[in-house]
Structure 1
Amino acid sequence: MTKVVTVTNQKGGTGKTTTSLIISYGLALRGSRVLLVDLDSQADASYSTLAQYDPFKTSLEVILGDVDIQEAIVTVPTDMLTHISLLPASANLATLDIQLTKRQMIDAQYNLSDALKEVKQDYDYIIIDTPPAISMALLNALTASDYVVIPTQADAYSLKGLGNLSNTIDAIKQRSNPELKTLGILIGRYDPRTKFTQAITGMLEDTSKQLHTKIFKTKLREAIAIKEAQGEQRNLFEYDPRSKAAKNATEFIDELLEDIAELNKTKQNGGYGND
């Protein structure tokens, strides 16, 4: 069964796109068929893949119902993998809320979920990169998803806003997606050598309880290889597969898959363990 994972945090600069790309390429490297959905008007995930696409056939047009999703999905070029596709973003995604209001669409938060039903059978995983704001793009992502991953950093500003995100996730669970589960908070640009980082990590542990979730054991450490790969528009696993950063990312994928398997097992046994 296809598993849909939204990567989100309403604060900017927390590594949402980096995390989305790591998950997508990491899963594809293991033979999974992956669809990366870009819902951020900055379109950084789309840019990073080097995929060619029609700027008028994007996730915006799919959510608005103007374009069939199969017409918008494109193949991601790579020398290494053959199982990644992309539903690209448009800069005009910033106008999504206004356009949905003008069209007076009922239950518009279901639009992406409905569109994905058409292609779910083609993929093992669908990974959704979201904008740094609570918007209709995010509500569409959460309504369509099985799981949420929240990337953050070990700094004081990253603590802000997680409470609002918690409220948004709870509202989605109550109204449009009761099966939604938060897999965990992923700390990126992590430097374990500083006492400040250790203190903030402890505070994030407390914050994670508000989201009925945990801090992932794996932290993505500060690494130049990640920035270099982004600069060359290449995925980390292809750019420097033997780097500490790639090993670190692989460990995160291992933990992610273990958690998903455990949640599926718990669901089959009649309940979830993180509520």
Structure 2
Amino acid sequence: MRELRRKESMQASKQAGASSGVSVTVGNLKGGTGKSTTSVYLALALAKRGGRVLLVDADDTNATAYSWVEMAGEEWPANIIVQRWPTLHVGRLVSDNKGTFDHVVIDTGRDPAVLRSALHVTDMFLLPMAPTMPEVARLQDTLNAASEVGAIKELDLAILLTKARAGTRSARDVRAHLKDGMELPVLDTEIPLSERYAQSMGSVPPLGFYGSVLSEVIARKEAR
């Protein structure tokens, strides 16, 4: 996972002409980790900052992000366009269309081939997971898929702890294990276990802690 680990000593410089937009794949091959919720909230957070956002639902099972937008109806921001592309060719489809957008968020499901395709066309891999050891035990398949892409191109991986019970020992232990034991980067922001997020589907909710998540995502981009 060396390609995916955060390089604490890397110089904070940008390549000339590099895009200022955010492009992120949200994924975890395990279900129920908050991928679609995270994808939608990130798209909403980006839209509030301005510009056009492409939100791609590449989950071939649930289509949660796409359904969310349909349920929101006219309340949905006009500068977020959602596409349903649950295909191995999602990377090509995004590449063919992202030129007219400022930001790209791809919500992936449980297919490792779709995940790899999405990672090839985005700069960051945001991996949501609950802070429990059973979730940690099921990370390896996802990390393996990301490593295959990370061996070919630069890929910034960060873990986002979701459904976290604030102040619990389990959350602290899992964070320490991921950072110190597995040498994986973990965002400082945690998404708490809350009805506020669990019941937000179909609405255009306040950003809550996802505003801070986006700030960290942007800070990581600017440090590369």
TM-score by length of 1: 0.68
Q: In structure 1, what is the Cα distance between the partners aligned to 2:100 and 2:182?
A: 33
User: What does residue 223 of structure 2 align with?
Assistant: 262
**Structure 1 unaligned regions, length at least 5:** 52-75, 97-108, 238-245, 264-275
Partner of 1:30: 49
Give the secondary structure class of the aligned counterpart of 1:217.
strand
User: Gaps (5+ residues) in structure 2?
Assistant: 1-18
- Higher relative CO (CA 8 A, sep ≥ 6), structure 1 or 2? 2
Change in CA separation of 1:117 and 1:217 when aligned onto 2, cut-off 3 Å: same
Following superposition of structure 1 onto structure 2, how do residues 32-51 of structure 1 map, counting pairs within 5 Å?
32-41=51-60, 42-50=62-70
Q: Residues of 2 paired with 1:189 and 1:122: CA distance?
A: 34
- The whole-number CA distance in structure 1 between the counterparts of 2:150 and 2:167 is 38
Greater Rg, structure 1 or structure 2? 1
8 A Cα contact 1:208 1:214, kept in partner: no
User: TM-score scaled to structure 2, two decimals?
Assistant: 0.82
Residue 116 of structure 1 corresponds to which residue in structure 2? 94
Matched, 1:235 2:204: yes
After TM superposition, where is structure 1 displaced by more than 4 Å over at least 4 residues in a row?
none
Q: Which has the higher strand share?
A: 2
Aligned-pair distance for 1:166? 2.1
> SS of the counterpart of 1:169?
helix
Alignment of 1:1-275 (within 5 A): 1=19, 2-41=21-60, 42-50=62-70, 77-79=73-75, 81-89=77-85, 93=86, 111-134=89-112, 136-174=113-151, 177-182=152-157, 184-206=158-180, 208-209=182-183, 213-230=184-201, 233-237=202-206, 246-263=207-224
RMSD: 2.1
SS at match of 1:145: coil
Tell me the distance in 2 between the aligned counterparts of 1:215 and 1:260.
15
Secondary structure at 1:117 match in 2: helix
Q: Counterpart amino acid of 2:204? A: N
Q: Decide whether the 8 Å contact of 1:185 with 1:208 is kept in 2.
A: no
What is the number of equivalent residue pairs in this alignment?
Answer: 204
AA matched with 1:127: V
Whole-Å separation in 2 of the counterparts to 1:112 and 1:190: 31
Matched AA of 1:179: E
- Say if 1:168 and 1:251 are closer, same or farther in 2 by CA, change over 3 A: same
Percent of aligned positions with the same letter in both sequences?
Answer: 24
Identify the residue that residue 267 of structure 1 maps to in structure 2.
none
Question: Which residue does 1:240 correspond to in 2?
Answer: none
Kindly indicate which of the two structures has a greater share of residues assigned to helix.
1
- Conservation of the 8 A alpha-carbon contact between 1:151 and 1:187: yes
